[in-house]
Structure 1
Amino acid sequence: MTATLPTLGTGTAVRLTGVHKSFGHGPAAVTALEGIDLTVAPGEFVCLLGASGCGKTTLLNLVAGLDAPTAGTIELATGRPAVMFQEAALMPWLTAARNVELPLRLAGVKRAERVARAGELLELVRLTGAGDKRPHELSGGMRQRVALARALASAAHGEGGTAASLLLMDEPFSALDAITRDFLQGELLRVWETTGTAVVFVTHDVREAVRLGQRVVLLSSKPGRVVQEWAVDGLGGPEEVVVVEEINARLREVISSHAA
Structure 2
Amino acid sequence: MTATVEAARATTGNAVRPVRFHQVGKAFGTGKKSVVALEGVDLAVETGEFVCLLGASGCGKTTLLNLVAGLDQPTTGRIELGSSRPAVVFQEAALMPWLTAAGNVELPLRLAGVPKAQRRAKAAELLELVRLGGLGDKRPHELSGGMRQRVALARALASTTDNTGSGAGKPSLLLMDEPFSALDAITRDVLQGELLRIWQATGTAILFVTHDVREAVRLGRRVVLLSSRPGRVVREWEVAGLAGAAEAAAVEEINAELRKVISSHAAA
Question: Following the alignment from structure 2 to structure 1, what is the Cα–Cα distance between the partners of residues 61 and 255?
Answer: 17
Task: Give the length in aligned residue pairs.
Answer: 260
Contact 1:104-1:153 at 8 Å conserved across structures: yes
1:140 aligned partner: 145
Which secondary structure does the structure 1 equivalent of 2:183 belong to?
A: coil
Contact 2:174-2:206 at 8 Å conserved across structures: yes
Match of residue 242, structure 2, among 210, 217, 235: 235
Per-residue CA deviations over 1:97-148 (Å, capped at 9, x if unaligned) read 0000000001110000000000000000000111000000000000000000
Match of residue 102, structure 2, among 79, 97, 104: 97
Matched, 1:175 2:182: yes
Matched, 1:13 2:6: no
Amino acid across the alignment from 2:126: L
Amino acid across the alignment from 2:174: L
User: What is the deviation of 1:7?
Assistant: 2.1
Q: Residues 47 and 224 of structure 1: is their aligned pair in 2 closer, same or farther, counting only changes over 3 Å?
A: same
Matched, 1:76 2:77: no
- Structure 2: state its 5+ residue gaps: none
User: What is the deviation of 1:164?
Assistant: 5.7
User: What is the deviation of 1:3?
Assistant: 2.8
Contact 1:221-1:254 at 8 Å conserved across structures: yes
Matched, 1:45 2:50: yes
Question: Following the alignment from structure 1 to structure 2, what is the Cα–Cα distance between the partners of residues 29 and 177?
Answer: 37
Matched, 1:120 2:125: yes
User: What is the deviation of 1:80?
Assistant: 3.1
Matched, 1:88 2:93: yes
Runs of 4+ in 1 over 3 A off after TM superposition: 158-161
Amino acid across the alignment from 1:230: W
Q: Map 1:16-35 onto structure 2 (within 5 A).
A: 16-35=21-40
Question: Following the alignment from structure 2 to structure 1, what is the Cα–Cα distance between the partners of residues 175 and 94?
Answer: 15
User: What is the deviation of 1:160?
Assistant: 6.5
Contact 2:8-2:16 at 8 Å conserved across structures: no
Greater shift, 167-176 or 75-84, is seen at 75-84
Question: Following the alignment from structure 2 to structure 1, what is the Cα–Cα distance between the partners of residues 214 and 30?
Answer: 38
Q: TM-score, normalised by structure 1?
A: 0.97
Question: Following the alignment from structure 1 to structure 2, what is the Cα–Cα distance between the partners of residues 30 and 101?
Answer: 39
Contact 1:80-1:158 at 8 Å conserved across structures: no
The percent identity for this pair of structures is 73
User: What is the deviation of 1:5?
Assistant: 1.2
Contact 1:81-1:164 at 8 Å conserved across structures: no
Question: Following the alignment from structure 2 to structure 1, what is the Cα–Cα distance between the partners of residues 80 and 163?
Answer: 15
RMSD over aligned Cα atoms: 1.2
Which secondary structure does the structure 1 equivalent of 2:103 belong to?
A: helix
Question: Following the alignment from structure 2 to structure 1, what is the Cα–Cα distance between the partners of residues 163 and 191?
Answer: 25
Question: Following the alignment from structure 1 to structure 2, what is the Cα–Cα distance between the partners of residues 240 and 48?
Answer: 17
Contact 1:13-1:77 at 8 Å conserved across structures: yes
User: What is the deviation of 1:12?
Assistant: 1.3
- Structure 1: state its 5+ residue gaps: none
Which secondary structure does the structure 2 equivalent of 1:15 belong to?
A: strand
Which secondary structure does the structure 2 equivalent of 1:87 belong to?
A: coil
User: What is the deviation of 1:89?
Assistant: 0.3
